[in-house]
Structure 1
Amino acid sequence: MLFRQLEYLVALSRERHFARAAQACHVSQPALSEAIRKLEEELDVPLVLRGRKYEGLTPEGERIVVWAQRILADRDALKNEVGHLRTGLSGRMRIGSVPTASGAVALLTAPFCLAHPLVTVEVIADLQSEDVLRQLRNFEIDAGVTYLREDLGEQYRTIPLYEERYVLLTGAADAPAPHATATWAEAARLPLCLLTEAMQGRRVVDELFAEVGVRPSPRVETDSVAALFAHVRTGRWASIVPHTWLHVFGVPHGMRAVPLVEPARTVPMGLVTIAREPGSVMARALREIAGGTDVAAALDRLPGDPGPH
C-alpha cells in the first residue's frame, strides 16, 4: 500500500492536477485523493495544499516527494536486478535526449536491444539539457544523452560519446562552391531558421557567432531539428545543424551542407547517468554498451557528411 501511496503523490507532483494524476495512475480521482489523505495520516504531516482546486504541495510534501522518487526508483532497480539474475535483463529503459543528439541515440539503442532482447526502450527526445538532468535526478529516466558541461558535478556519471560540430544547411542555389566551407560571419548574413534560444544547442551556436562579433537575426525559430530541415527545403531559409543529423536525413535533394569554420569549434556530447550505487541496472547495462561503441567513428563516416575540418 505504501508504494501505491507514494506513486500517487509523485504523480500528483508531476501532473499538478488531481484528475490528471489519477488518470496517469489508472485509478479514480477519489481513490487517489483518499490514498494521499491516508499517507498524510500515517506520516502525521500535511502534504497537499487543499482548496477548491490543486494549489500545490506543502514544504513537507515537496520534501516527501524527493524521498518517494528515490524509494520508487530503488524498488524498480531491485526488481530489475532480481529479474536480471533470474532470466536476463527485462523491462523498460528510458533515455532522455537533447534534440541535437537524437540521431546518435540510435547508435546506442541498436546494440543495446541486440544484447538485451527482453528490454523495450523509450526515447524521450527534444528535451532541453536542463530537463535531461532534472528527469535524471527525479528518476524519470534511466540515462540521458546531452552536452557534457564542466559543472555537472559528482552526482552524475558521464561517458563521452562524440564531439558535436556544425554545418551550414542551405538550398543548393545559395550554397558556397562545391567542397567549400562557410564562415560563421557569412552564415549570419543569410535568412536563418534556428533552434529557439531556450535550447542549449542554440546557446552554443550563439556563442560561436559572438566569437566573431556577429549576432544572427533568425526569422524563424523552432525546438525541432527536423523542422529546421523542413524550412530549408522550401528554399527560403538556411540553417545551422549538428553534423549528427546528416546521419538521420543525409543531405536531402536540393540542399547543400558545408562545414562551418572560423571558428571550427566542437562541443562534447555524452551519456549521463546518476552516480548513486547500486543504481539502475538499465543504466549500468547501457553504460557497458556505450563503453564498447565507437559513436564518434560512426558519425564521422556518414554518407553526405562533409567530414571534419
Structure 2
Amino acid sequence: MLFRQLEYLVALSREHHFARAAQACHVSQPALSEALRKLEEELDVQLVRRGRKYEGLTPEGERIVVWAQRILADRDALKDEVGALRTGLSGRMRIGSVPTASGAVSLLTAPFTAAHPLVTVEVVTDLRSQDILRQLRNFEIDAGITYLRPGLPENVATLPLYQERYVLLTSAADDLARRASATWAEASLLPLCLLTEAMQGRQVVDQVFAEAGLRPVPRVETDSVATLFAHVRTGNWASVVPHTWLHVFGVPHGMRALPLVDPVRAVPVGLVVTAREPGSAMARALTEVARHTDVAGALERLPGAPDLP
C-alpha cells in the first residue's frame, strides 16, 4: 500500500468524480483508476461503486477513507515534526473560520508567521461552524475559529479567544445615528441586511431578536460580512454586525456603529483543533501563539469605534 493510493481515494471521496480527482492529484484519470484497483486488490475489498460513471464509494470504501485521512494526516504531522526539529516549523498551515470571526484571524496569523517565518498560512473564511468541525475531522484544516457552543465533539480541543458582541451599523443620516446606543427593538424596525439563515452568526442574531419578542424580516441576505457593509454604505439599509469587524473597517465615512442593548449579548468565539496526541505540529504552534495573544484586548481597541458596554 502506497500513500499515493490513499491520496487518490481521499481525493475521489472529496471530488465525487474520477476526472476531477485525477486533476486534483496531478495524474491522469487512467493512472488514478488503476491505482485504486490495485488498492482494492491489496485490501481484498471493493472500495468504489463503478458503473458508466462514478457512483460513489461502497460502505467499506467510506470506512477506509476515514483511515486514509488519518494516515495521511499522521504522515504530514510526522514530516512537520521532523522539519521543526531540524530547521524550524515549515510548510502550510490551514485555518478555517466562520465569516463573522474572519476579521479577527489576522490577530493570530501575524504573530504566528513572525514566530514561524518558514510557514505559509492558508485562511478559508466562508465556512459554517459545522463545516469547520467536518474539515477538522477529515484533516482538511489544521485549526478553526468558530463559536464555542455547547455540545462540541469530545475530540475537539478549544481555546477561548474573545466574546463576540453586536452593533447596529446604519447610515449617519438615520435618526438613530445621534444616539449612543440602540435597542434590538429599534433595530428590528429598520430595513435590514443580514447574513443568511444557514450561518450561525445569523442564528445568534435571530435568537436575540426572538428573546425580545421580535422577528424582523431582512430584505437582503448574504454570506459575506463585507457585503453587509457595502449595502449599509448605500444609505438604504442597516445591519447587525459583530463588533470585531469594526477592527477591519473602522466605522466607514457616512456610517455609524451603535452598540446594541436591551439585551447586551456576548457569544464566545475561540480556536478549535483536533484533540489528538501527538497531533499536528501546526495546530500546537498556533495554539501556543493564541495562548500568548490578547485577541479580546486588541478587539476592544477599535479605531473610530464607540465605547462598547
Q: 1:248: which partner in 2?
A: 248
What is residue 103 of structure 1 aligned with on the other side?
103
Q: 3-state SS of the aligned residue for 1:202?
A: helix
Contact preservation (8 Å) 2:171, 2:177 = no
Residue pair 2:89, 2:119 contacting (<8 A) in 1 also: yes
- % identity of equivalent residues: 81
Return the alpha-carbon distance in structure 1 between the equivalents of residues 260 and 162 of structure 2: 18
Amino acid at match of 1:153: P
**Structure 1 unmatched runs, 5+:** none
> In the aligned structure 2, how far is the partner of 1:216 from the partner of 1:49?
48
Measured in 2, the distance between the counterparts of 1:278 and 1:12 equals: 28
Deviation digits for residues 257-303 of structure 1 (CA, Å, limit 9, x no counterpart): 10001110100000000001000000000000000000000000111
| Partner of residue 121, structure 1 | 121
Counterpart-to-counterpart distance in 1, 2:33 and 2:266: 50
Moved over 3 A (4+): none
Where does 1:11-26 land on structure 2 (aligned, <5 Å)? 11-26=11-26
Q: Which residue of 2 aligns with 1:64?
A: 64
What letter corresponds to residue 295 of structure 1 in structure 2?
V
1:142 paired with 2:142, answer: yes
Residues in 2 aligned to 1:29 and 1:184: alpha-carbon distance in whole angstroms: 56
Answer yes or no: is the 8 Å Cα contact 1:171–1:255 preserved in 2: yes
Amino acid at match of 2:285: A
Q: CA deviation at 1:153?
A: 3.1
Contact 2:177/2:258 (<8 A) preserved:
no
Residue of structure 1 equivalent to 2:73: 73
On the 8 A contact 1:175/1:256 being kept in 2, the answer is no
Query: Following TM superposition, by how much is the alpha carbon of 1:216 offset from its aligned partner in structure 2, in angstroms?
Result: 1.2
State the Cα distance separating 1:53 from its structure 2 match: 1.2
One-letter code of the match for 2:15? E
What is the number of equivalent residue pairs in this alignment? 309
The 3-state SS of whatever aligns with 1:235 is coil
Look up the match of 1:199.
199
SS at match of 1:180: coil
For 1:115-144, what per-residue CA distance to the aligned partner results, in whole angstroms no more than 9, with x for missing partners?
000000000111001001100000000000
Q: Which residue of 1 aligns with 2:257?
A: 257
Question: What residue in structure 2 maps to residue 156 of structure 1?
Answer: 156
Deviation readout 1:40-93 (Å, 9 max, x if unpaired):
111010111111111110000000000000000000000000000000000000
Q: What SS does the corresponding residue of 1:176 show, helix, strand or coil?
A: helix
Aligned to 1:176: 176
Q: Could you tell me which amino acid in structure 1 is paired with residue 7 of structure 2?
A: E
Equivalent position of 1:82 in the other structure: 82
Q: Distance in 2 between matches of 1:85 and 1:15?
A: 35
CA contact (8 A) 1:167 1:257 kept: yes
> What residue is the counterpart of 1:44 in the other structure?
44
- Kindly indicate whether the alpha-carbon contact (under 8 Å) linking 2:194 and 2:221 is maintained by their aligned counterparts in 1: yes
2:28 corresponding residue in structure 1: 28
The equivalences for 1:262-273 within 5 A come to: 262-273=262-273
Judge conservation of contact 2:188–2:215 (CA < 8 Å) in 1.
Answer: yes
> Structure 2 length normalisation: TM-score?
0.99
Q: Specify the code of the residue in structure 1 equivalent to 2:142.
A: D
Q: Is the contact made by 1:16 and 1:56 (CA closer than 8 Å) also made in structure 2?
A: yes
The alignment's C-alpha RMSD in Å is 0.9
TM-score normalized by the length of structure 1? 0.99
Provide the secondary structure at the position in 1 that maps to 2:55. strand
Residue number in structure 1 paired with 2:55: 55
Once residues 175 and 290 of structure 2 are traced to their aligned partners in structure 1, the CA distance between those partners, rounded to angstroms, is: 36
Q: Per-residue deviation at 1:305? A: 2.0
> Residue type matched to 1:87 in 2?
T
User: In the alignment, residue 34 of structure 2 is paired with which amino acid?
Assistant: E
- What secondary structure does 1:307 align onto? coil
Aligned match of 2:221: 221
Instruction: Provide structure 2 residue ranges, at least 5 long, that are not aligned to the other structure.
Output: none
Q: Which amino acid aligns with 1:230?
A: A
Question: How far 1:179 moved relative to its partner?
Answer: 4.9
* Residues 168, 258 of structure 2: 8 Å contact kept: yes
Residues 164 and 243 of structure 2 are in contact (CA less than 8 Å); yes or no, is this contact kept in structure 1?
yes
Task: Give how far 1:304 is off.
Answer: 1.9
